[in-house]
Structure 1
Amino acid sequence: MSRNDLNSTSRTNWAALESRSEENIDYSDIPPLTDEFFERATLRIPADQAHNLVQLDPDVKQWFQAQGEQYKTLINKVLRQYMESNQTQHQA
């Protein structure tokens, strides 16, 4: 890809595309998504989003949220404190 590719203006007529109704879109060249596709599919999450994947019980999340806007920072501090206080136990 060249620098010119990044600076070129799209020639797509976006207004015409957005005005199309669902019925006027041709899906015939798109293969169907089968059960086999989903069995073999791999979920890939960018690393910068992985921090959003902690599962919390609703009451735990509500308690932290009630502590203020920076509740995610507080959750991180609590987890870090737990981790650091238990590191010596697991390293022995």
Structure 2
Amino acid sequence: MPDGKTAKAAIRGTDWATLRAMPEDDIERIAADDVDNPATDESHWSGATVGLPIGKTSIHANFDRDVVEFFERGGRGYQTRMNAVLRRYMEEQRDKKPER
């Protein structure tokens, strides 16, 4: 490290006690300033849908490495997010074309 400084250990997890003690306005300000936190005003959620999971089928599939890495960067649940993207695409395509 330059100037003889040592690296700080990465902080993992959430300090729930500190968060619970924080005023709501401070939490909102911190979230708004966080570059990794997408904007979430009302217009952001206008097209959102909530769906209940249906029966899952286990398959073996191959995906491009960068696609999997992209979803993995979001942390746990990456396969669920991949499924959600595929489902959304399927629903959009199904709605465009009449079924045969």
- The structure where helix makes up a greater share of residues is 1
Rg comparison, structure with higher value: 1
Q: Which has the higher contact order (CA 8 A, sep 6+)?
A: 1
TM-score under structure 2 length normalisation = 0.39
TM-score by length of 1: 0.42
